């Protein structure tokens, strides 16, 4: 049993309380979501998919790999898991997940993309710098959120998520995007990070779920422990939330209607947003 951080378990909140908490804090944690059988099916699917990554020493369209501290190679991301195994496809339609998402962004829901993030033990590279998701795929409004379903216990030791509660209220911030295709972004203005007292570690048990607003500032450290940390990330959006700039065609099931209907209209919010295509390479800039 791992200790829960000092946040309220959304399992104990009514739908109205969940919505109010999400609007104010920008996230929700459900320590209990999946049954033991559902979790076992996902773990077994993961093992099946990872067979294809054995011996891989370079990233490809299916896996991103990373070097562990002992010099070996290990997958750190599975791209588009919904096309890799039916168990992952089925997960995006899970009624408990969609009931919760519907309460936050409305009854008409589409998938934006999915991925599985793996943090192998003793690996310093599988970490995420502070960022928001919205600048990577800006949309016409902010009804866009990331659901993280945990296949393992995530702990401070193995690199659980950190967030800055309430930071979504500041709106999208400029990010610098690296050119190499790897996930290495930086917040342009780091002043927002100067108060670690506002950072919150969010450990979630296996079978649980965390979700956060697209403008939530979040990060996670490397896995310094001996146990893996695996989570499937599912990005959902309201069906009237259209992606700006056309989006990335490599994302499987992008726009899949997972609940409700497609209204074929876009709801716009005012603002000026940097598009991810405007690449600014922090390495070149600093160097």
Ligand X SMILES: O=C(O)CCC(=O)C(=O)O
**Contact positions toward ligand X, by CB under 6 A?**
117, 128, 133, 161, 218, 220, 231, 233
* CA distance linking residue 243 with residue 166, whole number of Å: 24
Comparison of 105 and 147: residue with beta carbon closer to ligand X? 147
Least CB distance to ligand X at residue 150 (A)? 10
User: Which is nearest to 25 in space by CA: 211, 220, 235?
Assistant: 211
Least CB distance to ligand X at residue 117 (A)? 4
Task: Tell me if residue 118 falls in helix, strand or coil.
Answer: strand
Task: Tell me if residue 120 falls in helix, strand or coil.
Answer: coil
How big, in percent rounded to 5, are the helix, strand and coil portions of the chain?
A: 25, 25, 50
Task: Tell me if residue 42 falls in helix, strand or coil.
Answer: helix
Q: What angle (nearest 5°) sits at the alpha carbon of residue 245, between those of residues 186 and 116?
A: 55
Least CB distance to ligand X at residue 145 (A)? 12
Comparison of 233 and 252: residue with beta carbon closer to ligand X? 233
The runs of H, that is alpha helices, within the chain are 15-25, 36-50, 86-91, 95-105, 282-286
Least CB distance to ligand X at residue 244 (A)? 18
Least CB distance to ligand X at residue 161 (A)? 5
The C-alpha torsion from 242 through 246 and 250 to 251, rounded to 10°, is -10
- Measured at CB, which residue is nearest to ligand X? 220
Both tokens of residue 273?
């947003």
Least CB distance to ligand X at residue 229 (A)? 8
Comparison of 107 and 171: residue with beta carbon closer to ligand X? 171
For strand 109-119 and strand 73-79, is the pairing parallel, antiparallel, or unpaired? Answer: antiparallel
Comparison of 233 and 266: residue with beta carbon closer to ligand X? 233
Least CB distance to ligand X at residue 68 (A)? 17
* CA distance linking residue 98 with residue 74, whole number of Å: 32
Comparison of 223 and 241: residue with beta carbon closer to ligand X? 223
Q: What angle (nearest 5°) sits at the alpha carbon of residue 34, between those of residues 261 and 155?
A: 115
Comparison of 231 and 240: residue with beta carbon closer to ligand X? 231
Comparison of 73 and 137: residue with beta carbon closer to ligand X? 137
């Amino acid at each position: 049993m791992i200790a829960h951080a000092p946040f309220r378990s959304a399992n104990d909140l009514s739908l109205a309380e969940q919505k109010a908490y999400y609007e104010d804090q920008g996230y929700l944690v459900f320590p209990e979501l999946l049954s033991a059988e559902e979790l076992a099916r996902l773990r077994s699917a993961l093992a099946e998919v990872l067979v294809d990554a054995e011996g891989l020493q370079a990233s490809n369209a299916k896996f991103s790999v990373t070097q562990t501290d002992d010099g070996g190679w290990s997958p750190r991301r599975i791209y588009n898991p919904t096309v890799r195994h039916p168990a992952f496809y089925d997960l995006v339609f899970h009624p408990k997940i969609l009931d919760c998402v519907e309460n936050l962004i409305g009854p008409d829901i589409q998938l934006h993309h999915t991925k599985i993030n793996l943090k192998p033990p003793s690996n310093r590279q599988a970490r995420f710098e502070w960022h928001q998701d919205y600048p990577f795929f800006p949309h016409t409004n902010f009804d866009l959120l990331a659901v993280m379903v945990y296949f393992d216990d995530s702990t401070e030791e193995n690199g659980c998520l950190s967030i800055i509660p309430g930071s979504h209220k500041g709106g999208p911030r400029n990010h610098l995007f690296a050119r190499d295709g790897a996930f290495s972004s930086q917040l342009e203005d780091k002043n927002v990070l100067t108060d670690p007292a506002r950072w919150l570690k969010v450990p979630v048990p296996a079978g649980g779920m965390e979700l956060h607003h697209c403008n939530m500032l979040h990060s996670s450290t490397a896995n310094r422990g001996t146990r893996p940390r695996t989570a499937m990330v599912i990005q959902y959006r309201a069906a009237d939330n259209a992606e700006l700039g056309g989006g990335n065609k490599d994302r499987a099931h992008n726009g899949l209607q997972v609940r409700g209907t497609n209204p074929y209209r876009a709801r716009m919010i005012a603002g000026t947003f940097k598009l991810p295509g405007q690449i600014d390479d922090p390495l070149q800039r600093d160097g």
